[in-house]
Each structure stands twice: as structure tokens, then as C-alpha cells.
Amino acid sequence: YQTAKKICGLLVDSCKATPEPKTRDRKIKKNQLKHTRIGTISLTKTVDQNTRAFVYYHLNIGIDHMVVYFDDPNDQLYDELRNIPRLTFILCNDSWWLAKLGRVPENIAVKKQTCLDHGIRLLRRRKIAWIASLGSDDLLYTSVPIHQILETVDANIGRINVVAEEAVRCSGMDQGGIFQSRLFKKTPKHPNGLQKLVERIIYRRIQQVSNQGVLGSRKGTSLFRSTASNNLDKPHKPGNNKRETTTIIRSDIHLLHYECFSYEHWKGKWKDSINEITSSPDTGEKLRQQATQLRAHIVNGNEKELIKIYRQWFCPSWVAIQLLLWSGLIVRHRIDPRLFEPQSAE
């Protein structure tokens, strides 16, 4: 009896011990995943097929969770998008604003900040490590899966500044959605002699307005730790208010900005926000002067000058594009159009 009891005890102990390596391996993988999980927060005024493409693209490239706030409570894509597990879909009507803010927001800046604060809390609960605040005309682009890049980031890094590139119009962009272009302006911070010459040739008529200012997305956006304190003055580039926050620049993560897809969109966007740019104490003097010039054209109804600026900045000719490609002021990215359709998004 005693011998049988010892044998049974040994068998039971061996059965208990067997699963341990698997459990340990699973925990390691889970912790690794937790440190690279990435989410996005976005606010869009209206929802259409472009917003649908924006959502599916980011889910298909591996974004772990998206929080999208729709500022129109009558959006028709609600039924399609609300059942996607990796998407939190929030309709912002007056009752929602009153519940979260205590009042109806007086301007777009307050809306963005309220949604950003709320979205950060939601993503923290889902154990998201990294967050990007994106507009619905922005795409995050990497040549390798973004989780592979985040695995190489040291634990002491609090914010990652990414490369910002502005899309330009090309043939075929009048059909389909806004994300048609594969050509993007780099707007380098320190252009070389050749790039300065090409810029002067291509943009000479609007250089005073366009140089490093309103028409470009040089500053871009950042990925920031979900544990960081939110910078209230920069909803597109939040981070940690503490001075010891360590920031790095990654040239393998790109923010592709598609403001070019229509003149009406571009004009409407700046009409809504240009007063905030010129009145903000954080706006540099050069940017303030450029914004003031654009505002004068908008207020005076000078459509001819506005269209000229838009076309020269966003719609270069075929010859101009070749010059810009040759000088390195424009780059070409390969984006699979199937990423904008439901594939693995669910």
C-alpha cells in the first residue's frame, strides 16, 4: 500500500510540474506584447468612406486598439463599425459632452483635448503601452510591422517623434477615397543646396507663405507612453510634462498627412483653426505671419489667390514632381490598397 501511495504521489507531482514551462513562456510573451501594444485616438467631424478606410487601414497594419470620436451623432457607418472588437466607437452628442466635460465645447481645441483625455484613460484600461493622436486624414506608415520597431525601444523612452510627410496630388486622385497618393513631401529641416534650389524653383511664388509653416506638417506627431502626463497645449503631439522625459526620433515610423485631397477640405480646415494659430501664445512669429496672410485671403474672399497657393503647394506638375523626386524632396511609399478594406481588422 505504501509503495503504491508513493508511486501515485510521484505521478501526481510530475503531472503538476509538466505545464510550468508552458505557463512561464506564455507569461513572457504576454509581457512582451504588453510593452509593444499601440493604440490611437482620433476625432472626426463627419463619417464617410474615407473614415472607414482610415479605420480599416490602421487595424490591418496591427494597431491593437483604436478610439474614434465622431462629432456627428447621425453617422451612418455606426452599424458597420461598432461591432469591431479592436475599435471603440463613440458618438459625441450634447449629452455625451455634458457628461464628460460639464458643458458643450466652445471650440475644436476643447473637443480635441476632452477626447484625448478620455481616450488615454480608455486605452490605459486595455493595457496599451503606446498611443498616437491622429487626424482622420493621417496614416501611420512603417516598412516593417510596428510592433517590431517598438520592441527595440528602451524602457526609459517616454516619447517617439516620427517623420512627417505631406501627400501631394497625383493622377487618379479624383476617383475613390482620399488615400490615393503614394508621393509625399519630406520638407527637411535642414535642406541641402540642391534642395534649396529646387524649392526656390517650384515654390517661388508662395515661398513666403509656405516655407516651414502652415502648409506643411514638419512637426508631425509623436507616439507617447500611455502612462505619460498629457501636455494640454499640444493635443496632436502630447507627451509627458516632466522635464526628465526622454524623447527619441525614429526615421522608420512615418506620419503620412493627406490634406491635399480637395481644396474645399484644405480651406475649411484652415478657416476653422487659423484664428487659434494666430492667437496662441505658443505660435512662432514666422508661423503667425504666414497664418495671418492666409487668414486675410480667407476673410477677403480672395479665392483666386487661395486656389493658386493650394495648387502650387499640393498639385505640382509632372516635371515638378520629377525634380522633387530627384532632389529627395518627395519620396514614394508603397501602400497596399487592400489595407483600406476589412481583412483581418475584425
pTM of the shown model:
0.78
Instruction: Answer for the pair 214, 277: CB distance below 8 angstroms, yes or no.
Output: yes
pLDDT band at 182 (very low <50, low <70, confident <90, very high): confident
Backbone angles phi, psi at 250, to 5 degrees: -115, 120
Neighbours of 33 (CB within 10 A): 14
pLDDT band at 112 (very low <50, low <70, confident <90, very high): confident
Alpha-carbon distance of 215 to 135, in angstroms, equals 16
What residues have CB less than 8 Å from 184, skipping those under 6 apart?
Answer: 165, 166, 167, 168, 254, 256, 330, 331, 332, 333
Alpha-carbon distance of 202 to 316, in angstroms, equals 8
On the question of pLDDT at 76 being above 50, the answer is: yes
Per the structure block, which three cell numbers stand in for 137? 486624414
Instruction: Answer for the pair 103, 13: CB distance below 8 angstroms, yes or no.
Output: no
User: What is the tens place of the pLDDT at every residue in 218-256?
Assistant: 445 788 888 765 544 444 444 444 445 678 888 889 888
Query: In Å, what is the CA distance from 93 to each residue of 8, 70, 97, 111, 302?
Result: 65, 9, 6, 12, 35
Instruction: Answer for the pair 237, 222: CB distance below 8 angstroms, yes or no.
Output: yes
Per the structure block, which three cell numbers stand in for 327? 532632389
The pLDDT score that the predictor gives to residue 36 is 86
On the question of pLDDT at 272 being above 70, the answer is: no
Alpha-carbon distance of 319 to 310, in angstroms, equals 18
Mean pLDDT of 48-68: 91
Instruction: Answer for the pair 162, 139: CB distance below 8 angstroms, yes or no.
Output: no
Backbone angles phi, psi at 49, to 5 degrees: -65, -25
